[in-house]
Chain A
Amino acid sequence: MTFTINGKERTVDYEPEMMLIDVIREVLNLTGTKHGCDNSTCGTCTVVMNGKAIKSCNTPAAKAAGAEILTVEGLANGTALHPVQKALSESGAVQCGFCTPGIIMELYGLLESNPDASETEMTNALNKHLCRCTGYEPIRNGAEIAQKVMQEKSK
């Protein structure tokens, strides 16, 4: 199967029962994408496929054939962070950091395609992710800052 991940074209062997997360973590050793639960509830496995945030733990690997995939490792340009990464790293949104990759990819998926996402759209997106550390307020703060920066950029 061939697909593009973080800008590089890759061809991989995979077992038919594998989910996309298994290919990302175990075949490609991109360990930034996390496993947090057994049944697609926590959101930390979220990656962006063809521009849309999806859960990689319930996406069969075969669906990635020919797709363009972005994981959390693919956002920064050297030491220059993507605005979503920068905002979340500074707003207090990171404590243990285990939910962070999924939330970053969710916001990336939403704001790259729709920088003017409404508050409801932002809330619905973030509600797909469980965070046990922060009480969510600093994540909301970071998301709002990221959105402002991306709105400026898109003007």
Chain B
Amino acid sequence: MNYKYVGQPYNRPDAISKVTGKAVYLDDVRLPDMLHAAVLRPEFAHARVLNVDTSEAEKCEGVVKVVTGKGCEFRYGDNIKDLQPMAVDKVRYIGEPVAAVIADTLAHARAAMEKIKVDYEPLPVYIDAVDAMAKDAVLIHKDLDKYWRLPTLKETPGTNIANTYHLKKGRGEEGFDEAEVIIEEEFNYPLGSCSAIEPHGTIVWFKEDKTIECWSTTICPFIIREDLAHSYGVPVSDVRVHTPDLGGCFGYKSDVTTEQTIAWIASFVPGYPVKWVGTRQEDYTSTLLAHGMRTKMKIGAKKDGTLVAMKTTIYHTGGAYADTAVNVTIASTHNSTGPYEFKHCDLTGYTVYTNTPAVGAYRGYGHQESQIATERMMDLLARKLGMDPIELRKKNFLSEGKVNAVGETMWKHNGNIQECADRVQKMLYSKPKPAEDDQYYYGRAMVTVMKSPKGASFSTKGCYMKMNVDGSVNINMGGAEVGQGLRTVVKQVAAEALKIDPSRIRVYNEIDTQFSPYEWQTIGSMFTTQGGRAVIRAANKLIAQLRKTAAQVLKTDEDYLEYDGDFFYLGNDPSVRVAVTELARGYITSDGITIGEIAQAVSDARLPRYSNPDENGQGSIGVSYTMGSQAVELRIEKKTGKIIVDHYYSVFDVGQVINPLQIRGSVLGGAMMSIGAALYEEVVFDKDGKITNPHFFKYHLPTYKEAPEQTIEFVETPDPVGPFGARGIGEHSVIGAAPAILNAVYDAIGVDFFEIPLTPDKIKKALEARKESK
């Protein structure tokens, strides 16, 4: 569709403040009498805390208070209340808060922290879900059945299994009796980190009037508000949470992360704001990690390539606290079918306690972790069937009329994955692959992917819109701007809906729970879909208000009036009209009597009929899907085993492009991140549970020189839920890289890999092994 403002490359409103250094991020917030906290982390990843001696630290210069977890009786969490703000009698991972120093300066706090003495009794350490599930494993949480949890979640008492999710479609595993060919493999997507360039940070201020004010690097200020209110027994209205400008999120600034710890610390010095900003090391050890999934996958098919049955078992290294991991496991499990129809599914996901930092959201939310398996399996199955792997995929797409794993029937408006795959295939194979030369092997491969949102069924996004006396409009929303450019999206959608130029619309600059409309949290690639819908609803309400006043002014019925953004006028006589500017704050008649409401509207939007799954994991838990295809052209350097990605392709059906500049930027960045995960990134633990690479030296983020050329296109099959047909795209670009690269490596050197990151060492070893076997 052609729209006036939707589809245009408007520039983001926060670009200027960001290039002039005036954007205010968490660490830039300065408050009167602000104190600084340093948090002590344990020497052991799993240990009883026998004694914490703070006496020496208390004597240090500038120290106001030394805090421990002693006396903390509450637990918190959004899904499972298994978290505590500071260790009470046990530490369960290497980054856990053990004690903290509050001082006048950060340097003083850090110096005093070194003087705290802690006695530990070490316990066995489990780094991997599979080890933690062993029969004789020591329990990381002894009383896990005593924790409050969502009614849909199920722990296994006496084990380290925090939750087991199961989905059965059709005849489940029995369905394999209809298969003629069966393959089974195991894959590993190891622990990683979102690694936004801005580390986590939080300020909490217990105020003299018993209210609590908090600033944090969070995309869920409303959850934090409710959580703090619950923990400290104050009304939600007495907690005020601010989200300043955010220096990237990519997932791990969702859910409650460091806020409860800093609140606990600050609660000991009421009257003073206490600030903590993570070092890069703490950002790895003491916030949320990502991935950590082993996927066992079995696929059954007919000889003609028709997929019949899938069995997936996911072992998720959930970390020391499972509150943030559990939904990632679930999303990963029920989306492990990828964009294909299987008549029978038996899908199981275990979220397992381990002595690693808690795993939480990472852009893609479980999809890349299990679809690395699905997309490798498609190539392996095709090889076994003697079929072309792309034809195999195309034969089984979740296209119109097919039924996905959770039992939802797919419609045309769920997206044209066929078209995405056709385009990528054409681009990738339009020229011959370079022949092997002295220096390099060459490989290429394409994959197809899908993602559904994952949220709470009550998740909604609010919009507050007010029209000013000159007809300009201010819009506040509760959505967190992490870099994705949602303010531009709101502006363009509102302009289209209100029929006014975007230059007359100003979208909020920061979230403050006191003034911003409610939003659950800005996750799941759902802001454009839900938030955009909320904007249209608010715009329609606002126009309806104006229309009501206009009908009074023009002495006619509302439905006779037309609206063009500037005027309401009679359809049959446009000369009878009144300007919007005369209506915005009510219409002032010639004798001063004023009629009509102020033009302002509040609205919100959920996903329609989004529900909890039933006992077989069936239900309306996807609603909106985005599908697409990605491909890679790569080279392997013979001498070093290094993989060089030369070209990366992405085509997604996004329903409607709102802003071509921003959507390209989003996909460019997502592709780069996932290439990083596939080639370089892994958070590495030693056997004692210490992270050996908690910094950018060794946890290598992709650099400028490693960025491939990218071709990015979009198919536009309008979606009925999102604004003007748009659907989510924020996370989808990260799904394809790992399997595409692994499949392309097979294309290059004929070796199958089942895990990432695919480092030069692994390639070199494989090349040597291949030489020996020849």
Contacts and interface: CB of A to CB of B under 8 A. Distances in A.
A90 interface: yes
Interface stretch (B16-24, B380-388, B570-578): B16-24
Given A31-B27, A92-B662, A104-B19, 16 more contacts: A31-B25, A35-B277, A37-B696, A85-B19, A89-B11, A92-B664, A95-B665, A96-B197, A96-B246, A96-B247, A96-B482, A97-B17, A98-B198, A130-B696, A133-B248, A134-B665
9 contacts: A31-B27, A37-B696, A38-B279, A73-B21, A75-B20, A95-B248, A96-B247, A123-B704, A135-B671
Interface in A44-58: 44
Interface string B459-490: 00000000000000000000000111100000
A92 B664 CA distance: 9
Contact of B197 (A15, A36, A126, A139): A36
Nearest to B14: A97
Given A31-B24, A34-B247, A135-B710, A95 B672 contact: no
B672 A135 contact: yes
Contact of B707 (A42, A88, A133, A135): A135
A71 interface: yes
Interface in B94-143: 107
B646 to A, nearest CB: 14
Interface of A: 15, 17, 25, 29-39, 41-42, 44, 71-73, 75-76, 81, 85-86, 88-90, 92, 94-101, 104, 123, 126-127, 129-140
B697 A98 contact: no
A81 B16 CA distance: 9
A85 B19 CA distance: 6
Given A32-B22, A37-B695, A38-B695, A134 B669 contact: yes
B247 A139 contact: no
A84 B731 CA distance: 30
Nearest to A134: B669
Interface in B665-724: 665, 668-673, 695-697, 701, 703-705, 707, 710
B196 A96 contact: yes
B195 interface: yes
B21 A130 contact: no
Contacts of B671: 135
B48 interface: no
Contacts of A92: 661-662, 664-665
Contacts of B21: 30-33, 71-73, 101
Contact of A98 (B22, B248, B280): B248
Contacts of A89: 11, 15-16, 18-19
A33 B30 CA distance: 15
Main secondary structure of the interface of A (DSSP, over half): loop
Contacts of B306: none
A106 to B, nearest CB: 11
B622 interface: no
A12 to B, nearest CB: 15
Contacts of A75: 20
B362 to A, nearest CB: 12
B532 interface: no
A133 B710 contact: no
A39 B697 contact: yes
Given A92-B662, A96-B248, A130 B701 contact: yes
A94 B18 contact: yes
Interface residues of B, number: 57
Given A38-B695, A96-B248, A133-B483, A81 B197 contact: no
A86 B16 CA distance: 8
A42 B197 contact: yes
Interface in B253-279: 277, 279
A44 B20 contact: no
Contacts of A100: 18-19
Given A88-B19, A94-B15, A136 B199 contact: no
Interface string B17-44: 1111111110110100000000000000
Interface of B: 11-12, 14-25, 27-28, 30, 107, 194-199, 245-250, 277, 279-281, 482-485, 661-662, 664-665, 668-673, 695-697, 701, 703-705, 707, 710
B27 A35 contact: yes
Nearest to B250: A132
Given A31-B24, A94-B18, A132-B248, A36 B199 contact: yes
Contacts of A127: 703-705
Contacts of A76: 20
A98 B245 CA distance: 9
A34 B134 CA distance: 45
Interface centre among B21, B199, B695, by most chain A C-beta atoms within 10 angstroms, is B21
A145 B541 CA distance: 43
Contacts of A72: 19-21
Given A42-B197, A81-B19, A129 B704 contact: yes
A-B interface, 7 closest residue pairs, ranked by CB to CB distance from nearest: A32-B21, A98-B247, A97-B18, A96-B483, A135-B668, A95-B483, A72-B21
A19 B695 CA distance: 19
Contacts of A139: 704
Contact of A138 (B17, B198, B199, B665): B665
B196 A132 contact: yes
A32 to B, nearest CB: 2
B668 A85 contact: no
Nearest to B709: A137
A140 B208 CA distance: 50
Contact of A41 (B196, B673, B695, B704): B695
B482 to A, nearest CB: 6
A80 B525 CA distance: 35
Contact of B20 (A81, A90, A134): A81
A16 B19 CA distance: 31
A81 B740 CA distance: 42
A25 B28 CA distance: 8
Contacts of A17: 107
A39 to B, nearest CB: 6
Contacts of A126: 704
A73 B24 CA distance: 13
A73 B195 CA distance: 26
Nearest to A72: B21
A36 B217 CA distance: 14
Nearest to A97: B18
A88 B16 CA distance: 10
A32 B670 CA distance: 26
Nearest to B246: A96
Contacts of B24: 31
Contact of B710 (A15, A42, A94, A137): A137
A98 B705 contact: no
A146 B295 CA distance: 47
Contacts of A123: 704-705
A129 to B, nearest CB: 7
B22 A73 contact: yes
Contacts of A133: 248, 483, 665, 669
Contacts of B18: 89, 94, 97, 100
A79 B28 CA distance: 22
A86 B661 CA distance: 16
A86 B616 CA distance: 55
B704 A97 contact: no
Contacts of A99: 197
Nearest to B198: A98
Contacts of B194: 132
Interface centre among A15, A31, A36, A97, by most chain B C-beta atoms within 10 angstroms, is A97
Contacts of B195: 132
Contact of A130 (B22, B277, B664, B703): B703
Contacts of B14: 94, 97
Interface centre among B11, B19, B28, B250, by most chain A C-beta atoms within 10 angstroms, is B19
A133 B670 CA distance: 7
B19 A73 contact: no
Contacts of A35: 27, 199, 277
Contacts of A86: 19
